[in-house]
Structures are given as structure tokens and as C-alpha cells.
């Protein structure tokens, strides 16, 4: 089996044959879904999805040396078989001779082994045969297969007679090439000039012959690289040959020396140009496990004296693990498809992959190119892949995330599926509320005005200036049936503020506020949280009420807890305590656990609640700490928590830090982990004004987010974002574009105050619109008129942005604005223009400039208008 | 709408093959970096964006290896930065990827890092879009796919010479051999959170980090599955489909196609 060869059929896409020295087998390729169900031994796997089915027909023959497949469809699957005695037999697999060519034999004058057979690709009746050296005979015979036996003269005569002499052998070749005792090693026809061929001869010549003049070679070069001559069908100037472990590529136009020579580690056994992919040269070395492919982009070129490099790259194609490749064949039609056979007879059908170029669009679609096809894959709504932040951010902004500046909490409606972001928006909206409240009251102290504060700054922890708080012994609400001992709580104005920020109402003098909050939580179905909050505010019967009235799936759990709490007793080592402990193990809700922890723990020590990891919101823990910890402990706890949230990049932590340097570090960590630049930028903008607004990182986030919106072409969204940003930052944007006068070159807007100063101010407010019109249609600097509208021929000019509109009575939004219809606009190319409304009317029906004699196609030059038209 | 492209400028300084060309990120203006196989990296600038036929050579950097690819870092916050890869086959030449940074005070590009972990030929490099992160991610396509993170550590001043060199903490965050063949191309999505790579195995693979920063393959796109093979049979007929013609196959619908056009 070691000398196994493989050949694709030149006609059928799914047929190939394998040749061993005494047998030729025909195979048909089938897809694994179509393969015959019964297990036949004559079926072999070629690739993951393809199988080769051995056809029942085969050719068995001794002394088989070489095989060449007839390149025409008729007769079907005809092979020329060269034997060790030099005979050539035409045969097909069916054995029935519907064509007279089948079983035809061509016999050389002297018996010697056949080296190669090669059909002419165009004049397919010509078959070249290479023979071993003989004293007084030529080494290359070219047979005409239509020759009639005995009729040695009729070269081009078609054998049309109806009677067949299949046994009759032909002895005289059409042409003989090469003198006595010359040798030949390889042969290949050219296709573009089908009467010419290249052959390696006499171990040192590569010769090109033309059949029209066979006496001498048309071209020759002296080289040892004479084996395996192969013409590149994609570029017939190129010939590849090899000898031992060298492979050369020649250009027939410059035949003196090889253009390229590759050195292989081992002796080469075959080379083949890929017929479908330009520049692929497949090389098989002896005892090799792989097929090597050189991708020759171009032959070396010289520019001036310098040689251009980078003209080829090499690839190694692994075939099968630890199996020596015996032969390979390029598919004649399909791109870069390679069939290989190993010495053990295993087949492998491969595609030599091109380098796949690809690129991402900003919309998370990936374009890839495979050979001649291109494909687009979108990752927007692919459920098999976890949704990427890029897709998420785009979806959020389209839902209006970050565009609701009036009621900040509304922004979370766009991120319904991401509750982990709720906390920070809750802080922002409470902080904003507090800000508004302070503005009205103007009562808050110490430079905290106008800032979105964190708990830390409210408590004065960041400046180490903590206001004293007084300890109070609070009684449990009296409606509980049992009398309970007091609980220590701490109060101060700052702590109340902090509680307010945490959403706990804060003011213990206003219990109705707490009731509202509890009611809201119950409406949201958060019974456990509501109950816990009630309990921590010492309203034990309220808590029990909430738990027992709960509706929902886990309400059995909740009512059990309600009962348990109802039996609360302060005595230690009671049965109640023990039962609670065992119940505690079963509870999963962190708030229910916290309630028991609160009831059962020693007063003064609330570590269990404060360091809970399960799922209590940070705001609730902070609020709890603000009630029950004294100043030192609170300070220590808040500082510890700050470090923790920064490390974890937990956005909820902004509640504590606010937008301070700590807060920015926290957001930075969040961005590092999630890539969510959107939320980062929004937080920075919504918490304006703040001390960090000039921080490099903050500006970077904002700019990066704006750029992202621009790249998504969400320009309107970006503008809205800019408005929110600038409104918060008290930043005045200076004018960037001016309209200048044709005559004096000054801006027609910035001189307006001068013009208005020339006349007393009140004359405008008293005057009618007609009286101001002449003024706005000329340059305020030089008093020359502005250009005319090319359609209505009146002078242009609007009072927009000028001092003419400082009248006190026109304070409403719409009255302050000049109608956009009156604004002037012009084509950047031909400089003709007019009133916006007139131009819009004109270009609705025309594409050319309205000015007579101007051929400018103004409207087609407008890129954005073009895009709009496309949609 | 048919659009025509007009040649506006030819840059002729290179004497050897130009192996990669990349525009600078937008905030650096209209700049262009090219690299050549003789080891030169050139940076051109077009000072007037309204006249793109005028390009001036601003810098040339000698990398001392055969360059194959380059990538700009898109960070706004950090000095301009370029990574250059080399496809030199000689493994003894040391690291095959270098990182250069522009120094504003000396007005020069200086080498700040050589990635010594990569000694195989590099076919492609790509900086992830930075998008506000405090560190840079660099994907390197070599024998395997590598992702390197570069965290700026501030600057090292050298007294007397006035040169200031940024220093980085360099970490290899991932290395994948799933392609089982050389990796040819790498590319990041718009946020730098998904990386795609292609290799000789005919697959495009997608990679993503989880919340702990651990990178994992999330998807494989096989361009050459049976589906495409049928296409091949179809396109094999040269009369129907001239060789070289690109065929467009839409495998998945483009979502939100309408929003692309807003004005």
C-alpha cells in the first residue's frame, strides 16, 4: 500500500480514484447524511462530514506504473494506464466498450517501463508518454488516440468507422521527441498554447518544445531541477520543478535561472500547483506527515537596485496524526481543496484555508471573508452568547438611559434587567432631592451646598470633623403586648441626613415618613425589607403585621417568621431562642436573617448584621450603622466599608463616598471590571457640580462615551447628553462658528451690541417688527446689506442671537427663538443660498442650485441628506 | 449611492515593503503610521484635514526588527502609544513585539516595552479600545493568541538627560492555542470587551473575559462548514460566477439596520 496515489476526476466533482501498483479503485464522495445505512467495508471517512464510497467497479492489472485521467467527459471515467512494459491501455471502470477507445493499446517499439502519462488539456486526443532510456529509441512518445491500427498515416483523421478493433494495438506514435539514449524525467503541457510542453531531460536540461517543430527545443535551460515539471494553470509563465530536496519556480520568459528556490529538509516526492487558487504550490516530501504549501504572491521583483521582499509565505498542512502522506491531489474545480492519502490508505479531504480577514462594526456585527464569500454575523440578539456590554449600552441608550434629567430615578426604567445598577441611581435621586431641598431652605452648612453628597461627607468623616451625636435609649413601640427593654440609638442632624440618603426617611420625629416608605416597599412586594426596616425602627408589631399580610410565593416562610417574632422574649437561654437559631439556618432571605440577628444579639454588638455578605443592600447596612453605632464605631465601620467597595468596584458604594477622589477610584475600578463606560460617564455628569469635574479620568470617561455615541451615529442622544453635562457644570460654551460680512469681514452677530448701543435700548422694545427689519438685514459693522435670498430675493438676516431680542416681554421659550424658517443657509460648494424654508421647498423638487446659470448639484453634495434619503 | 474614491496622496519614503498602515485615533488628529519590513515605522501627519493631499513625515522610528504589523492605542488619557510586531522567523532575536510611546517633552517616540514573552513570529497586534479603563489590553497573534495587559505605573525621570520614560506593569492575562495553528488576525469590538481571532484552522474564534478578568472562548464561527461548501459547488462554474468575484452571504440579519441612518 505504500505507493498509493490519488487522483480527482477532472470531470466529476465527487469522484476520485486511488491507484496502487496492481489495482485502481473508484470512489464517490457522499455527505455523511446521505451515506448508505448498511455498514459496508468499502466506505471510508474523508473528513468530518464526507465519506468516500468505493464503487463496485475497479481495474485490476499487474505492472501498473502510472495513470492519467482523460480530461473530456466522453467516454466516461476513461483512464490511460501506463504499464511497466511501456504499453499504454485506455480503460474505464465499467468494462463495457460503448466507445471504441476503450481497451485501445499503444505499444512502444521497444519494451521499457513507462515513467509518466500526460493528456493534452486542449487537444485531448494527444497523450504524452515518457519512457525509460533506450539505446536507439526516443524517450517521449506522443500518441494520437484516434489513430486506427495499421493506418499509421492519418494523423488527424478521426476514427469514424463503425467496426471496432479493440484488440488492435497502435505501434506508431504521432510524434517522437528526443534522440537516442536521451532520458526524460517529467512532462507538462501548456494549456494556453496547447501544442507546447515543458519536459525535464537528460538529468540536466529543462526544455520547452513545440509540436510544430519537434526537431529541437524552443527554449531550454541547464539545471538539475528536472523532476516534476508542472505548469501553473493560473499563470502559465510559471513552472515548478524539483530535484532531491530543492524546489524551483521558473518564469519561462526569463528561463536562465530559477526565480525562486526552496530548500526542503527531506527529498521531495511530488509537487503540484493548485489549479484554482493562484500561487499555491503544494509540496510533498518523502516520509512526511504533512503537505507543505507555498503561497507565492509574486515572483521576486526589483525596483531600481533594491529587491522587494515578502513574496511568498509557507504553510504546513497537517493531515492525520502520525501517518505518512503518500500522495495528494488538488481538486480541479473547488477552491483550495486538497485530497490526501496516507501510506496506510487513509483518505483526508482538506480545504487549505485562506487567512480570514474580519472586522467589527460599531454595532457589534462581525464581517468575515472566507475565500470568495463574505458573511456577516450579528451579536446583538444572540442568546447563545452572554450579551456584551457594547450591545447592552446601545440598547440602554435607545431606551433613554441617562437622558432623563428631570426625574433621575426614571433612568432605571431603561435598565430593568440590571438591578445591580439600581443602587447608585437611588443614591443619585435621593442626593438630588436633598440638594433641591437644601437650595430652597438654604440651611445646610459648611460648603456642602450644591453637591451630591455621600454619607461620608454628610457625617463629616472625610474631613475628620464628626459632629457629636447624642445617645438615646429608645423604647420599642408601645403597641406590642409585651414590655421590652430600651435599645440604645444615636442621633444627630447629620445622621438623619445620612438616613435620608439611604432611603430610610431619617427623621424620627416624623414617623409618618417611615410609614410611607414601608408602604411603598410593600407595594413592590419587598415584605422582608419592609419588615426589617420596621423592626430596626423598633416597631415590632408593625413588622409582624407586614410579614403576616404579605402576599406572594414565599409568604408561608414570612408568616412563620412573623409568628416567631411575635414570640420574642428578651430572656436568654429560652426555648424561643433555640428554636429561632434552628429556624435561622433554614432562612435564605438576608433581611429575615438580619431581623433574627437583631433580636437575638447582644445590644452593642451588631457585627452579624453589618458584615453580612448575603444580599442586604449597602444602603440598608449603612442606615443601620447610622442608627446603632456610636461615633467611633461608625467611623471605623464606614472607613472599612469604603475600602471594601473601592476594591470591589461596587457602584452602590458611591452612597458612602459621593463623587470624591475615593468615588472616582471606585468608578475607575468599576469601569476596569465591566467596561461600562456609559454608567460611569452618566454618574459623573448627573452628580455635577462636583469637585471632581475636572479630574482627568472623569473627563476621559465623558469624552470616551461621547465618542462612542458619535460612532453609533446617535448624534441626538449625544447632544442631549452634552446638554445635561453642560447644564450641570455651569460651563458656558463659546460660539464656535460665525457668519461674517462679505464686505467688512466682521461677524454679523457679534457687532450687534454695538448697533443696539447706537440707539437707545427702549426704542426697539417700543418699535414694531417692521421697523427693526431693515436693521437685521444689513451688516451691523459696515451697514452694507446682507446677500439676498436666491429665491425670494429679499435681503437675508435674522435677529437670532443678537441684542435685538433682549426685550423683557419676550421671555417665553418660543418667543425667544427665531423661527428656523427665516434662518439663512447656503451651499458650501457654490455659495448660493437663502432662507432655510425657501431652500427646503426648492430642493424638495430640484437637485440643482436655484440660481440661474449655476449648475451646482447642491442637494446631492449633502452627505447627511443623502443618508436620510437612503432610509 | 455610488461613490468614487480618488487618490489624494502617495507616500513614497519607504524603500522596502510596507507591511501595515493604520490611522491614529481621532483625538490625535489625522495621523498615519506605517511599518516596513526593514524595521522602520513612519508617522505621517496631515495638518489640514480639508486638504488631505498634503502629508508630512513627522517621525521615523527604527525598531531594529522586520516589522509585520502595528496598532495604535486609542486611550485619550495616556500619551500616544504604538505596538509593533515582527514576523521574523529567528527565535533568538528576542521579543517580537515592541511598544513605543510619544514623549511630549522630547517630542520623540521612545521604546517603553519589549514583550519578551512572544518570541514566535507575530502576524497581528491590536490594542483594545481603551474606553476609560486604567490599563491597556494588547492582543498578539503569533503561534498562539496572547493577551497582554499593560498598566501604567507613572513615569521614571532620568535626571540630567531630561528624558522621561513611562513604566508599565506588564502581565500576560491569557494565552490560547485553540487554533492549533498560527493565528493570523486579531480584532476587538468597539468596547474592547470581545476579541476575535482567526487562524489556519479556518475558524474565527471569539473571546471574552468574565467579571474576574479571566478570558474564555465564547463562540466559534466556521466559515467553511458544509453550508459554504455547497456555495463552492455553485460558484465552481466559472460562467456563472467569474473567478475572484466576491459573493455576499448574509448569515444573520443585520439588526437595527434602519437606525444607521439618522440624518
Specify the pLDDT at position B258: 36
Closest residue in B to A665 (Cα) is B134
Share of chain A above pLDDT 70, in %: 81
**pLDDT tens for each residue of A775-802:** 667 777 777 888 888 888 888 877 654 4
Rounded distance, CA A466 to CA A457, Å? 10
Complete DSSP assignment for A727-796: HHHT-PPPP----B-TTT--BTTTTHHHHHHHS-THHHHHS-HHHHHHHHTB-TTT-PBPPBPTTT-SBP
Angstroms from B247 CA to nearest CA on chain A: 5
Distances from the Cα of A461 to the Cαs of A159, A634, A691, in angstroms?
109, 10, 17
Judge: A708–B226 Cβ closer than 8 Å, yes or no. no
pTM of the model: 0.76
| Overall average pLDDT of the B173-201 stretch | 88
Q: List chain B residues with CB under 8 Å of A336.
A: none
Report residue B178's pLDDT band, with 50, 70 and 90 as the boundaries. Answer: confident
Q: How confident is the model at residue A844 (pLDDT cuts 50, 70, 90)?
A: confident
Residue A397 has pLDDT above 70, yes or no: yes
Residue A141 has pLDDT above 50, yes or no: yes
Q: Determine the Cα–Cα distance for residues A354 and A277; give it in Å rounded to an integer.
A: 10
Looking at every residue in chain A, the average pLDDT score rounds to: 78
- Chosen for mutation from A370, A650, A665 (greatest number of chain B CBs closer than 10 Å) is A370
Closest CA to A303 of B66, B18, B200: B18
Q: Using the beta-carbon criterion (under 8 Å), do A674 and B211 form an inter-chain contact?
A: yes
Which of the residues B15, B20, B79, B131 would you substitute to probe the A interface, choosing the one with the greatest number of A C-beta atoms within 10 Å?
Answer: B131
Helix/strand/coil (H/E/C) assignment for every residue in B137-162? EEEEECCCEEEEEEEEEEEEECCCCC
pLDDT average, residue stretch A660-683 = 89
**B259 CB-near residues (< 8 Å, 6+ apart):** A398, A713
- Examine the predicted complex and report whether its ipTM is higher than 0.85: no
A715 touches chain B (CB under 8 A): yes
Task: Indicate the residue of A356, A384, A707 with minimum beta-carbon distance to B26.
Answer: A707
Give me the pLDDT at residue B55, please: 93
Number of residues that make up chain A? 871
User: CATH: 2.60.120.460, 3.40.50.620, 3.40.50.150, 2.130.10.10. Which one for B18-188?
Assistant: 2.130.10.10
User: Given a cut of 50, is residue B232 above it in pLDDT?
Assistant: no
User: Which of A47, A278, A355 should be substituted to probe chain B, the one whose Cβ sees the most B Cβ atoms within 10 Å?
Assistant: A355
Tell me the per-residue pLDDT of A63-115, one tens digit each, with 9 for 90 and over. Answer: 888 888 888 887 778 888 888 888 888 888 776 666 777 778 888 888 888 88
Q: Is A32 on the interface with B (CB under 8 A)?
A: no
Where are chain B's structural domains?
18-188
Closest CA to B223 of A333, A358, A48: A358
The residues facing B87 across adjacent strands are none
Q: Which residue has the higher pLDDT, A158 or A259?
A: A259
The closest of A804, A789, A800, A794 to A835, measured between CA atoms, is A789
C-alpha cell at A820: 428656523
- For residues A850 and A831, give the distance between their C-alpha atoms in angstroms, rounded to a whole number: 11
Facing residue for A388 by CB, picked from B1, B193, B200: B193
pLDDT over 50 at A52, yes or no: yes
Which pLDDT score is estimated for B139?
A: 94
- Read off the pLDDT of residues B103-133 as tens digits, 9 standing for 90 and up: 888 889 988 888 888 888 899 999 999 888 8
pLDDT higher than threshold 80 for residue A671? yes
Cβ pair A355:B184 closer than 8 A: yes
Q: Which of A337, A390, A671 sits opposite B133 (nearest CB)?
A: A671
- Candidates A47, A320, A353, partner chain B, best to mutate (most B CBs within 10 A): A353
Q: B247-249 and A373-378: which strand pairing? A: parallel
Name the residue among A31, A700, A867 with its Cβ closest to that of B226: A31
pLDDT bin (cut points 50, 70, 90) of residue A708 is very high
B137 vs B126: CA distance, rounded Å: 8
Question: Out of A264-273, A750-759, B23-32, B158-167, which region has the weakest mean confidence (pLDDT)?
Answer: A750-759
Which chain A residues are Cβ-neighbours of B201 within 8 angstroms?
353
For B222, name the nearest residue in chain A, comparing CA atoms only: A370
Contacts of A650 in chain B (CB under 8 A): none
Residue A167 has pLDDT above 60, yes or no: no
CA distance, residue A356 to nearest chain B CA (Å): 6
Determine the 3-state secondary structure of A555 from DSSP: helix
In the 8-state DSSP scheme, what is residue A37?
Answer: S
Give per-residue pLDDT as tens, B66-89. 899 999 999 888 889 999 999 887
pLDDT > 90 fraction of chain A, expressed in percent and rounded: 3
- Name, of A558-572, A696-710, B232-246, the range with top average pLDDT: A696-710
How many whole angstroms separate alpha carbon A151 and alpha carbon B22? 71
If you ran DSSP here, which 8-state letter would residue A213 be given? B
What is the mean pLDDT of the segment spanning B208-225?
A: 80
Return the biggest CA–CA distance within chain B.
72
pLDDT tier for residue A480 given thresholds of 50, 70 and 90: low
Question: CB contact, 8 Å: A867 with chain B?
Answer: yes
Q: What is the mean pLDDT of residues A270-284?
A: 88
Q: Which residues contact A623 (CB under 8 A, 6 or more apart)?
A: A498, A499, A502, A503, A504, A536
Q: How deeply is A807 buried, as exposed, middle or buried, from its count of CB atoms within 10 A (0-12, 13-18, 19+)?
A: middle
pLDDT in tens, A192-217: 888 888 988 888 888 888 888 878 88
Helix axis angle for A618-628 and A527-536, nearest 10°, is 10
Q: What average pLDDT is seen over chain B?
A: 79
Nearest to A319 by CA among A345, A281, A280, A294: A345
Tell me if residue B81 falls in helix, strand or coil. Answer: strand
Say yes or no: A309 contacts chain B, CB-CB below 8 A.
yes
Listed range (A246-255, A436-445, A821-830) with the worst mean pLDDT: A436-445
- Rounded to whole angstroms, the Cα distance separating B79 from A374 reads 37
Amino acid at each position: 500500500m505504500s505507493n498509493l496515489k490519488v487522483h480527482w476526476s477532472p470531470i466529476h466533482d465527487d469522484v476520485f480514484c486511488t491507484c496502487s501498483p496492481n489495482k485502481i479503485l473508484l470512489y464517490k464522495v457522499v455527505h455523511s447524511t446521505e451515506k448508505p445505512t448498511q455498514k459496508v467495508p468499502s466506505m471510508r471517512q474523508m473528513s468530518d462530514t464526507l465519506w468516500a464510497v468505493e464503487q463496485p467497479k475497479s481495474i485490476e492489472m499487474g505492472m501498473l506504473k502510472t495513470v492519467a485521467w482523460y480530461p473530456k467527459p466522453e467516454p466516461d471515467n476513461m483512464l490511460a494506464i501506463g504499464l511497466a512494459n511501456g504499453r499504454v491501455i485506455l480503460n474505464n471502470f465499467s468494462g463495457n466498450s460503448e466507445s471504441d477507445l476503450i481497451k485501445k493499446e499503444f505499444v512502444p517499439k521497444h519494451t521499457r517501463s513507462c515513467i509518466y502519462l500526460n493528456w493534452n488539456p486542449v487537444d485531448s486526443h494527444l497523450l504524452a508518454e515518457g519512457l525509460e532510456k533506450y539505446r536507439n529509441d526516443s524517450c517521449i512518445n506522443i500518441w494520437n488516440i484516434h489513430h486506427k491500427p495499421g493506418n499509421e498515416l492519418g494523423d488527424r483523421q478521426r476514427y469514424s468507422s463503425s467496426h471496432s478493433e479493440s484488440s488492435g494495438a497502435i505501434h506508431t506514435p504521432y510524434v517522437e521527441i528526443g534522440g537516442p539514449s536521451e532520458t526524460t524525467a517529467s512532462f507538462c503541457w501548456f494549456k494556453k498554447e496547447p501544442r507546447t510542453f515543458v519536459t525535464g531531460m537528460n538529468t540536466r536540461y529543462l526544455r520547452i518544445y513545440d509540436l510544430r517543430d519537434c526537431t529541437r527545443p524552443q527554449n531550454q535551460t541547464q539545471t538539475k531541477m528536472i523532476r516534476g515539471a508542472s505548469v501553473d494553470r493560473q499563470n502559465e509563465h510559471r513552472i515548478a520543478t524539483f530535484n532531491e530536496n530543492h524546489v524551483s519556480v521558473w518564469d519561462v520568459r526569463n528561463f536562465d535561472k530559477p526565480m525562486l528556490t526552496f530548500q526542503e529538509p527531506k527529498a521531495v516526492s511530488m509537487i503540484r500547483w493548485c489549479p484554482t487558487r493562484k500561487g499555491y504550490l503544494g509540496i510533498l516530501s518523502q516520509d512526511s506527515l504533512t503537505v507543505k504549501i507555498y503561497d507565492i504572491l509574486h515572483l521576486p521583483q526589483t525596483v531600481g537596485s533594491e529587491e522587494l521582499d515578502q513574496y511568498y509565505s509557507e504553510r504546513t498542512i497537517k493531515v492525520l496524526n502520525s501517518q505518512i502522506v503518500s500522495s495528494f491531489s488538488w481538486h480541479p474545480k473547488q477552491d483550495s481543496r486538497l485530497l490526501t492519502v496516507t501510506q496506510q490508505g487513509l483518505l483526508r479531504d482538506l480545504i487549505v484555508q485562506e487567512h480570514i480577514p474580519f472586522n467589527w462594526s460599531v454595532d457589534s456585527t462581525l464581517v468575515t471573508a472566507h475565500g470568495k464569500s463574505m458573511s456577516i454575523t450579528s451579536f446583538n440578539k444572540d442568546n447563545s452568547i452572554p450579551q456584551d456590554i457594547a450591545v447592552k449600552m446601545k440598547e440602554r441608550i435607545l431606551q433613554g438611559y441617562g437622558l432623563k434629567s428631570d426625574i433621575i430615578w426614571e433612568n432605571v426604567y431603561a435598565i430593568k434587567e440590571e438591578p445591580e445598577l439600581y443602587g447608585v441611581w437611588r443614591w443619585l435621586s435621593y442626593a438630588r432631592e436633598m440638594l433641591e431641598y437644601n437650595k430652597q431652605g438654604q440651611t445646610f452648612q459648611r460648603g456642602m451646598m450644591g453637591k451630591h453628597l455621600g454619607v461620608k461627607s454628610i457625617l463629616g468623616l472625610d474631613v475628620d470633623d464628626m459632629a457629636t451625636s447624642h445617645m438615646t435609649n429608645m423604647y420599642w413601640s408601645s403597641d406590642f403586648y409585651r414590655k421590652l427593654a430600651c435599645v440604645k440609638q444615636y442621633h444627630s442632624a447629620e445622621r438623619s441626613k445620612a438616613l435620608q440618603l439611604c432611603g430610610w426617611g431619617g427623621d424620627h420625629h416624623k414617623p409618618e415618613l417611615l410609614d410611607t416608605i414601608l408602604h411603598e416597599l410593600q407595594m413592590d412586594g419587598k415584605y422582608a425589607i419592609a419588615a426589617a426596616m420596621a423592626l430596626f425602627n423598633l416597631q415590632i408589631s408593625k413588622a409582624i403585621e407586614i410579614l403576616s399580610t404579605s402576599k406572594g410565593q414565599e409568604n408561608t416562610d414570612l408568616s412563620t417568621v412573623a409568628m416567631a417574632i411575635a414570640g420574642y422574649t428578651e430572656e436568654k437561654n429560652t426555648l424561643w431562642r433555640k428554636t429561632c437559631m434552628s429556624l435561622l439556618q433554614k432562612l435564605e432571605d438576608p433581611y429575615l436573617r438580619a431581623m433574627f440577628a437583631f433580636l437575638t444579639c447582644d445590644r452593642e454588638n451588631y457585627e452579624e448584621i453589618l458584615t453580612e455578605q448575603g444580599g442586604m443592600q449597602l444602603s440598608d447596612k449603612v442606615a443601620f450603622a447610622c442608627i446603632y453605632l456610636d461615633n467611633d464605631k461608625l467611623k471605623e465601620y464606614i472607613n472599612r466599608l469604603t475600602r471594601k467597595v473601592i476594591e470591589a468596584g461596587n457602584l452602590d458604594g458611591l452612597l458612602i463616598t459621593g463623587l470624591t477622589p475615593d468615588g472616582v477610584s471606585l468608578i475607575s475600578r468599576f469601569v476596569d471590571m465591566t467596561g461600562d463606560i456609559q454608567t460611569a460617564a452618566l454618574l459623573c455628569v448627573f452628580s455635577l457640580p462636583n469637585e471632581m469635574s475636572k479630574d482627568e479620568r472623569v473627563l476621559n470617561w465623558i469624552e470616551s462615551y461621547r465618542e462612542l455615541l458619535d460612532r453609533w451615529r446617535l448624534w441626538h442622544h449625544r447632544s442631549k447628553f452634552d446638554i445635561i453635562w453642560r447644564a450641570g457644570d455651569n460651563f458656558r460654551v463659546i460660539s464656535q462658528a460665525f457668519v461674517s460680512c462679505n464686505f467688512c469681514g466682521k461677524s454679523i452677530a457679534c457687532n450687534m451690541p454695538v448697533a443696539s448701543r447706537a440707539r437707545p435700548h427702549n426704542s426697539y422694545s417700543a418699535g414694531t417688527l417692521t421697523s427693526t427689519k431693515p436693521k437685521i438685514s444689513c451688516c451691523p459693522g459696515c451697514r452694507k446689506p446682507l446677500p439676498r435670498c436666491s429665491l425670494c430675493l429679499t435681503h437675508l438676516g435674522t435677529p437670532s442671537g443678537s441684542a435685538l431680542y433682549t426685550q423683557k416681554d419676550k421671555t417665553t421659550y418660543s418667543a425667544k427663538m427665531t423661527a428656523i424658517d427665516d434662518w439663512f443657509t447656503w451651499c458650501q460648494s457654490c455659495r448660493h443660498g437663502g432662507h432655510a424654508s425657501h431652500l427646503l421647498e426648492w430642493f424638495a423638487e430640484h437637485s440643482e442650485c436655484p440660481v440661474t446659470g449655476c449648475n451646482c448639484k447642491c442637494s446631492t453634495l449633502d452627505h447627511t441628506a443623502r443618508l436620510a434619503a437612503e432610509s | 449611492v455610488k461613490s468614487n474614491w480618488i487618490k489624494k496622496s502617495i507616500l513614497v519614503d519607504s524603500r522596502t515593503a510596507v507591511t501595515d498602515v493604520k490611522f491614529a485615533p481621532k483625538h490625535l488628529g489625522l495621523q498615519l503610521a506605517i511599518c516596513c519590513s526593514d524595521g522602520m515605522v513612519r508617522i505621517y501627519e496631515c495638518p489640514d484635514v480639508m486638504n488631505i493631499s498634503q502629508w508630512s513625515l513627522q517621525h521615523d522610528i527604527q525598531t531594529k526588527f522586520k516589522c509585520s504589523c502595528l496598532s495604535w492605542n486609542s486611550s485619550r488619557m495616556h500619551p500616544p502609544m504604538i505596538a509593533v510586531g515582527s514576523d521574523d522567523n529567528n527565535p533568538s532575536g528576542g521579543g517580537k513585539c515592541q511598544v513605543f510611546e510619544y514623549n511630549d517633552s522630547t517630542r520623540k517616540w521612545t521604546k517603553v516595552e519589549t514583550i519578551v514573552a512572544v518570541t514566535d513570529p507575530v502576524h497581528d497586534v491590536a490594542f483594545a479600545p481603551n474606553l476609560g479603563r486604567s490599563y491597556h489590553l494588547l492582543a498578539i497573534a503569533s503561534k498562539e493568541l496572547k493577551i497582554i495587559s499593560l498598566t501604567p505605573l507613572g513615569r521614571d525621570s532620568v535626571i540630567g538627560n531630561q528624558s522621561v520614560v513611562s513604566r508599565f506593569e506588564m502581565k500576560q492575562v491569557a494565552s490560547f492555542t485553540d487554533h492549533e495553528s498560527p493565528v493570523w488576525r486579531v480584532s476587538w469590538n468597539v468596547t474592547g470587551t470581545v476579541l476575535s481571532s482567526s487562524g489556519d484552522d479556518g475558524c474565527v474564534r471569539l473571546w471574552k473575559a468574565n467579571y474576574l478578568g479571566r478570558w474564555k472562548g465564547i463562540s466559534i464561527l466556521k466559515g467553511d462548514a458544509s453550508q459554504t461548501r455547497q456555495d463552492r459547488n455553485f460558484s465552481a462554474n466559472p460562467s456563472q460566477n467569474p473567478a475572484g468575484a466576491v459573493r455576499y452571504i448574509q448569515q444573520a440579519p443585520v439588526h437595527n439596520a434602519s437606525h444607521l441612518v439618522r440624518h
